[in-house]
Structure 1
Amino acid sequence: MADQVTVYVSILKDSLKEKYEVMQKILDATKRQAEILSSDPVDADAFDEMLSQKEELISRIFTLDGGFERVFSKVNPFIQADPQSFKPEILEMQNYIRIITECSMKIQALEQKNKNKFEMFVKNKRKEIRDFNASNKTAASYYQNMSNQHHQWQTYFVDQKK
């Protein structure tokens, strides 16, 4: 049974290591989103592609977390019974948890900045659309008035001759 517990503990470590690697990829993708949002003009397709990549990575995190929880529930009683036997592994897992937490905090801070940049981008696009629509209405109204003006003058001159 001790060998099986050692295998489970190794699986837990590997799971945390993989989670950290995926979190790093999420951080990189979030940084790339910040670059995209800071560029002029903003490449909406590239931004959308980054969102898709992040969705896949986040899905992977959920899968890893679920697997970790299942394995941890099996091995936890054995670790609690003899923590000294697994001290190096526990310390390594605690270190991974610490760096995963730090990475998560960096991602959250960057996500908040990206959210603010994205809201400004959307606000500016909405303004551009409103301005464009107002310009179109003005132009259409002008051409309609000019078209009507032309007919009124022709009719006026015809009436004057009578």
Structure 2
Amino acid sequence: MQETYIEVMLQSLRKKELILDRIIELDELQKDALVNQGIKPDDFDIIVEQKSNCINELNLLDEGFQEIFNKISDEIDKNRALYAEEIRQMQESIRRITDKSVQIQAQEARNKELMKKKFSTIRRQVKDIRTNQGALKRYNQAMKKVEYIDPQFLDNKK
């Protein structure tokens, strides 16, 4: 029975690695979306939604892993020699997961900076558009006044 639980824990760790790999791919897509001017905001939203789904899946895996670990941790501690290979596999998997997590955190920090720059650029563009619209409005108002001629009285007497 314990072997089954241990195998489930190992499968959970492997699946977590695959999900982290997917998050790394999505981070790269997100970076490209922030750098590339031709990407639509909807495409960016799709990437964020996919990352959110991956994170939810990771949370479920973590909860399940922790529940199983809590059930069998005493048994594993008592029989370390019996489960040495499985423990080694889990440790290696956890190391890879940790490395991927660090990589994701670094990419997230870079993406955050790119996002700040992108929003700063957008704010500047909006400000320029508003300024240009104001100048155009003032110009139009000035031109309306130029075309306006006060009423004239015409004397037809000779």
Would you tell me which structure has more helix in proportion to its own residues? 1
Alignment of 1:9-158 (within 5 A): 9-151=6-148, 154-155=149-150, 158=152
Q: Percent identity?
A: 26
TM-score normalised to the size of structure 2? 0.93
Residues in 2 aligned to 1:94 and 1:80: alpha-carbon distance in whole angstroms = 15
TM-score normalised to the size of structure 1? 0.90
Matched residue SS, 1:83:
coil
Residues in 2 aligned to 1:44 and 1:115: alpha-carbon distance in whole angstroms = 16
Deviations 1:66-111 (A, max 9, x none): 0001000001010011111100000000001000000011111111
Residues in 2 aligned to 1:146 and 1:35: alpha-carbon distance in whole angstroms = 46
Paired residue type of 2:52:
E
Q: How many aligned positions are there? A: 155
Residues in 1 aligned to 2:43 and 2:80: alpha-carbon distance in whole angstroms = 48
- Which stretches of structure 1, 4 residues or more, deviate above 3 A after TM superposition? none
Q: Which runs of 5+ in 1 are unaligned?
A: none
Residues in 1 aligned to 2:43 and 2:81: alpha-carbon distance in whole angstroms = 50
Cα distance, 1:43 vs structure 2: 3.1
Give the root-mean-square deviation of aligned CA atoms.
1.4
Residues in 1 aligned to 2:59 and 2:83: alpha-carbon distance in whole angstroms = 26
Cα distance, 1:42 vs structure 2: 4.0
Residues in 2 aligned to 1:90 and 1:42: alpha-carbon distance in whole angstroms = 45
